[in-house]
Structure formats: structure tokens, C-alpha cells
């Protein structure tokens, strides 16, 4: 029996387009301005800050928001975009309140800061799912918000912006009647989006019925 393994990947030059850095700086500036305009009141700052950072993260197609406690009681916020973490803002006041607000929204135990916790924030729409996890560190609680945004912008492989050679190679793989497709990448890199695009492309281009099984961890 003959086994063929094909590896399809982008080159390093395709990971960070030149225009992405400019957009990142613009969005960071907007977020800093919005957070800076929030009144520094203990009873209001965390509520408005969390609403602001979640809304801005969704707008900028952020896959993860990391809130990392620093030495000196500040809280560093990082965005993960296309698998890469970017430092965005540092909360120098009410850091613990910001994490506590996330825990309230995710129905976590606010008084337990010594154990890891996981929960979900109900966004009120099927297009957005927010998963929250917290973890104790020596400087305080770390929190991560994972954003799952349903998008209809990437229905087929041709919509993903893949390099021509890569798209052609992947489309050829999808025409085979049997085999295994292994898709791997960092969190938020677009694995599930790519798999759905593959399935839609197969259904569109092939008149034959297919039997397909998928394995995902996490689903």
C-alpha cells in the first residue's frame, strides 16, 4: 500500500502582512482612548472597561483576550490575532476589579481566587460565544477570554485569501475519494473556519455523496 503525506503551509512572509501592523496600531489607539475616557470610580470602571474591551475585541476579530497580572498590581491586556499575541493596554488601576467583573459575567466564584475556573458569558446572540478561564498566579489572577465569532465571510476556500499554490493543492486533496486531512495550527489561527470552507467546497464541487468524520479537540 502506498501512503502519501502532503504538507501545505504558508511561508513566513505570509504570516504578518505589512498592512496588519498599521491596523493594529490604529485599533490599539482607539481602545486606549475609550478606556482612558472611563471615569476612575471603583463602582463603575470595571463594568465599563470590560464592556469596552469585549466590544473592541469582537470588532477587531480577536480570538483571545489575555489579562495577565504584573508585578506591582497592574494588569496587562494582550490580544491574540491570527495566532500572534499583541500587548494592547495595561490597567494600572482596578486590575482585580476587571478580572472580578469577567468572573461575574461568566458565573464564576468571585471569592475563589486560588483555584482555576472556567465559564461562559452569554452574549445574547448566536453569532458570538465567549469562554472565560481564570488561573491563580503569584501576582494575582490571570484571565483569558476566548471569542468564537460566527462569520459568513469565509464560505469557500476561495474566500480565505490563501496563496494560489496552497489553495490549488488543498483543492486537489479535496477531490480524492478517500484519505485523511490533518489541519493543525495555534489557537485562533482559523482551523475550524478552514475546515468548514473545505466541507462547503467539497459539497459545491462534487456531485458524489461523501462519508466524513471529524476529530476536534476542543470541539
Boundaries of every domain in the chain: 19-149, 151-205
**Phi and psi, residue 189, nearest 5°:** -80, -15
Separation of alpha carbons 201 and 155, rounded Å = 8
Closest CA to 144 of 174, 106, 180: 106
pLDDT tens sequence across 28-82? 778 888 888 888 888 889 999 999 999 888 888 888 999 999 998 899 999 988 7
- Give residue 206's pLDDT band: very low, low, confident or very high (50, 70, 90): confident
Side-chain-facing half-sphere of 207: CA atoms under 13 Å: 0
pTM summary value = 0.66
**Crossing angle between the packed helical segments 164-174 and 191-205, to the nearest 10 degrees:** 60
| Burial of residue 95 (number of CB atoms within 10 Å: 0-12, 13-18, 19+) | buried
Give residue 218's pLDDT.
61
Separation of alpha carbons 43 and 30, rounded Å = 24
Separation of alpha carbons 190 and 84, rounded Å = 12
Separation of alpha carbons 219 and 216, rounded Å = 5
User: Residue 118 corresponds to which cell in the numbers above?
Assistant: 472556567
Question: CATH classification of 19-149, choosing from 3.30.450.90, 3.90.1150.10, 3.20.10.10, 3.50.30.30?
Answer: 3.30.450.90
Contact 52, 60 (CB under 8 A): no
Separation of alpha carbons 26 and 28, rounded Å = 5
Amino acid at each position: 500500500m502506498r501512503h502519501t503525506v502532503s504538507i501545505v503551509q504558508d511561508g513566513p512572509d505570509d504570516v504578518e502582512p505589512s498592512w496588519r501592523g498599521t491596523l493594529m496600531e490604529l485599533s490599539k489607539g482607539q481602545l486606549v482612548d475609550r478606556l482612558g475616557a472611563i471615569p476612575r470610580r471603583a463602582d463603575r470602571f470595571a463594568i465599563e472597561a470590560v464592556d469596552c474591551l469585549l466590544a473592541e475585541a469582537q470588532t477587531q476579530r480577536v480570538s483571545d483576550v489575555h489579562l495577565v497580572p504584573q508585578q506591582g498590581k497592574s494588569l496587562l491586556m494582550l490580544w491574540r490575532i491570527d495566532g500572534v499575541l499583541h500587548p494592547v493596554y495595561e490597567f494600572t488601576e482596578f486590575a482585580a476589579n476587571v478580572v472580578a467583573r469577567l468572573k461575574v459575567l461568566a458565573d464564576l466564584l468571585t471569592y475563589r481566587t486560588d483555584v482555576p475556573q472556567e465559564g461562559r458569558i452569554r452574549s445574547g446572540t448566536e453569532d458570538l460565544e465567549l469562554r472565560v478561564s481564570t488561573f491563580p498566579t503569584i501576582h494575582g489572577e490571570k484571565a483569558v477570554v476566548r471569542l468564537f465569532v460566527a462569520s459568513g465571510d469565509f464560505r469557500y476556500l476561495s474566500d480565505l485569501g490563501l496563496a494560489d499554490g496552497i489553495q490549488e493543492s488543498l483543492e486537489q486533496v479535496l477531490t480524492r475519494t478517500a484519505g485523511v486531512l490533518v489541519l493543525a495550527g495555534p489557537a485562533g489561527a482559523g482551523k475550524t473556519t478552514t475546515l468548514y470552507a473545505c466541507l462547503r467546497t467539497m459539497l459545491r464541487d462534487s456531485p458524489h455523496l461523501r462519508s466524513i468524520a471529524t476529530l476536534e479537540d476542543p470541539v
